[in-house]
Structure 1
Amino acid sequence: MDSRRPPPLDRDHLRKVLVAADDPSTRQFLSGALVSLGYDVTLAVDGADALRHARATRFDALILDCRMPHGGALDVLRDLLDSIDAASAGVPAFATSAEISPLLRSDLDAAGFAGAIEKPCKIASLGHALDAALGVDPRMAVLSDSDGLVATGDPQIMASLRQLLRAELLQLRTELHELGGDPGGLVDRLHRLRSACGFCGALRLGAQAKALQGHVYEARQVAPAMMERFRRELEATIAALAV
């Protein structure tokens, strides 16, 4: 198992995010925050500009302001989904607004948004939302023997703890559907899981759990797409622990 940490990505391999907002300060903040998190950012100044970029370029994620000239987030996403040949149709999209009411959140969920980000937001919260939807760095090891040995100090102890972790993950697999409707319970469950992952060197699942936990804590809801992303990491870790 490769226990090495992944090297920094070069610019050609950065994930690409489109940020659309008519407010210059919002664009500046989101752009700076995303660059600091390791993303390649393209800016759009209104709905028409966002739609032009998203039709022509395949982005990994879209961050769209709810209120913009020539179309807000709902308008842009609807037009993308209605376009047969739009390059970014179907990619995870997030809506931003200074105030996200329950009604607006319901409309965004129904339209297919991966999440809603209320402004002003913390950089860490933005990172959690994107990681929860897109997944953590795929070059990170599923299991790291060296990290597990640092935490446990003994190969036999590590092996025993990994057997316990696999049993825990099999149980968690059966609980995921129920936890999807219980944001508070999911946050608590992920907190406990992260500790177990740390002892066992389960890097990717621990990182994905942290991202999902952080996002759910902020948003107080669980997006189905983010639960599916977490489930994939769960299954990958279960398979790795069985070897």
Structure 2
Amino acid sequence: MKPKLLLLEDEPASRHFLCLAAEALPAEVEPAATVAEARALALSGAHALWLFDVNLPDGSGGGLLAWLRAQGLQTPAIAHTAAHETAERARLLAEGFLAVVTKPLTTAAWQAAIRDALKGPVAEATSGDPRQDTGGAEPADTAAVWDDTAAAAALGGSATNVAALRQLFLAELPDARDTVVAAAADGDLAAVRAALHKLRASCGFVGAARLQAAVAALQGDPAGDTALQRFLSAVAKTLEAAAAADDGGGG
């Protein structure tokens, strides 16, 4: 019998990737986009494992876990986050998560974390494959727009899944860009960082290498006009490349 998992992730492209990878274990996955939705599903008590995003628009994965524990539910839980800081992983483990996985990550790393959690206690935090997070290692204006090798690796070599996930990512990208621009115009650096935090993970899943590098640079300098302009340029290049591929019938 396939284990039933509850996945909480508000970002559509990330949620789609994490669902696909978990279902391939095989497992049955119930997705939730908000803390409120996940809370209602979790109260059924029918899940073998909870997979909670850390930062949500209506709360936090840690806060949800604490609330569910207070209701007497003891389902094991994994936290998934785009934050790479050691202190953040330690905090989440202290909140009661069995393991912490860092996005973006490969299908294999995600599945391994789930398998380990289903077997029993996990000794320490688990991070994603570092190759899936270039983190600005290559300048945003010179990196390739798409890294097809990284995307294929993240999605288990499935070109169909890569194409589907990229379509979802591209559909959401203009809104993500506008959120960053509006927050920057208001001088709300916390909102800038929050929007970039979610976008960075999605970039890694779909292999948007140039945009991922630009996002990482803007995270490091959220008030910088140069970093913001490079981010906007990377968004434009990513959308242009997708449009050109569609016009030419390519992928």
* TM-score normalised per structure 2: 0.47
TM-score using structure 1 length: 0.49
Question: Which has the greater radius of gyration?
Answer: 1
